[in-house]
Structure 1
Amino acid sequence: MLGTALGALALGVALGACSPTFDWRTVMNNDNGYTVDFPAKPGNDQRPVQINGTPMQMAMQSAEAGHAVFAVGTLMLPDDSDATQRAALDFLRAGLARNVGAAPDAHPVQIPLAAGGKTPGLEMKVSGVAGAKHETRTVYARLVAHGRHVYQAAIIADQALPQDQLDQFFSSFQLY
């Protein structure tokens, strides 16, 4: 199921090649508890996923710009236990890497909270081939569990993006 969501995002990368302009706007997602800057007006989607046999819904907001798809996915967990959060984070990390045929390497990062302070998360950058055409893609992602939510802020690009575009997206991603 995650592959389907990321497949749609990969398709969006191809379509995003037609609109290279970045028109940043701050989006507050009160339903899922985050704020982030998107480079274009985001669309919304929802997909069912199963983590360790438990069905869940993944809400996704995404926007296309500059040969890339910028997305924030949110899983609503059945509880906020460490084990459930860890399973969801592992599922997302492995799925992102698997979609480009890469190892699911990640390192710790601090994710800002809108009210101040930070919470621990994971950051990853993986590259490989994806889709039916086996095109090279790079996935930049931050993953974090906060209460009963697990978040995946990701950029999927078919060519290198300027660092300021990566920074704009990831530094604006805050939880509340």
Structure 2
Amino acid sequence: MRLSVSVYRLSGLMFRLAFYLASYLASRLFPFVHAFRRHASRAASSGAGTVLRSAACVAVTGAALIACSPTYDWRTVANDAQGYSVDLPAKPSNDERQIDIAGTPMKMAMQIAEADHTVFAVGSVTLPSDDPQVQRAALEFLRAGLARNLGATPDAHATQIPLAAGGQVPGIEMTFSGKAGANQEPRTMHARLVARGRHVYQAAIIGSKNPAPEQIDQFFQSFKLD
């Protein structure tokens, strides 16, 4: 089945998966860089807080300042329109685009937050129907996009995605380690894919290094579908 992402051609920085962004480190991983930067700029100018929170620490031996590690400011985000909830480590940015999967236009929505030089993102594709074949095509679109853009074959296995009302649905958990961007910098990604009804979801963490295990667990264990 032929899958197309030609509608996602943003100048400069681009990730052909068309779901998530990492504007830091001049990567080419995600297509919504400009929207994320606008969000960060507005937050900084209003003084309401930034996507990355850092503090300057005074050195004991002198007046030198040392940058402290950004903090994780976890909060639960409920996305009723897309049918999920998740804990994110900072206030998220949002975007929505049209994509083409197997010749069919579909709506793609996403929420992104960044902390400690790592991007946490949840994206959802609204399908034209809940036909299992349509679900599989969308899942393959996401899986293939991740593998292609990181140039890596994932370590993949089945997992269970919790439902807010109790119970679970089957999903896929994947870990990628590869290189991306003009400078071919190393990236590690953890992702979970799942289909439910007329939506296909992807929850992902990506960065130049792995967050602490408790941060990874916080994100994925909190990701629940309605």
Coarse TM-score class (shorter-chain normalised)? over 0.9
Find the partner of 1:50 among 92, 100, 108: 100
- Which protein is bigger by CA-based radius of gyration? 2
2:39 counterpart of 1:3: no
Letter of the 1:5 partner, please give it: A
Q: Which moved more, 1:127-136 or 1:32-41?
A: 127-136
Gaps of 5+ in 1: none
Pair 1:34–1:12, CA change in 2 (3 A): farther
Task: Provide, for residues 66-93 of structure 1, a one-character-per-residue CA deviation record: whole Å limited to 9, x for no partner.
Answer: 1110000000000001100011111101
After superposition, residues 1-176 of structure 1 pair within 5 angstroms as 1=8, 3=16, 5=18, 9-12=21-24, 20-176=70-226
Letter of the 1:124 partner, please give it: M
Question: If each structure's strand is expressed as a fraction of its own residues, which one has the higher value?
Answer: 1
Return the offset for 1:123: 0.4
Q: Which has the higher contact order (CA 8 A, sep 6+)?
A: 1
Return the offset for 1:5: 3.1
Distance 2:17 2:140 in 1: 18
Return the offset for 1:113: 0.1
Instruction: Find the residue that maps to 1:99 and give its secondary structure.
Output: helix
Instruction: Find the residue that maps to 1:10 and give its secondary structure.
Output: coil
Distance 2:25 2:86 in 1: 19
Return the offset for 1:18: 7.1
Partner of 2:65: none
Distance 1:12 1:109 in 2: 30
**Structure 1 length normalisation: TM-score?**
0.92
Letter of the 1:10 partner, please give it: A
Q: Is the 8 A contact 1:13 1:157 kept in 2?
A: no
Runs of 4+ in 1 over 3 A off after TM superposition: 12-19
Distance 1:129 1:11 in 2: 16
Return the offset for 1:10: 2.6
Q: Which moved more, 1:40-49 or 1:68-77?
A: 40-49
Gaps of 5+ in 2: 1-7, 9-14, 27-36, 38-50, 55-69
Task: Provide, for residues 39-68 of structure 1, a one-character-per-residue CA deviation record: whole Å limited to 9, x for no partner.
Answer: 000000122221111111210100000111
- CA-based RMSD of the aligned residues comes to 1.9
Q: Is the 8 A contact 1:13 1:69 kept in 2?
A: no
Pair 1:38–1:133, CA change in 2 (3 A): same
**Structure 2 length normalisation: TM-score?**
0.72
Q: % of aligned pairs identical?
A: 62
Aligned residue-pair number:
175
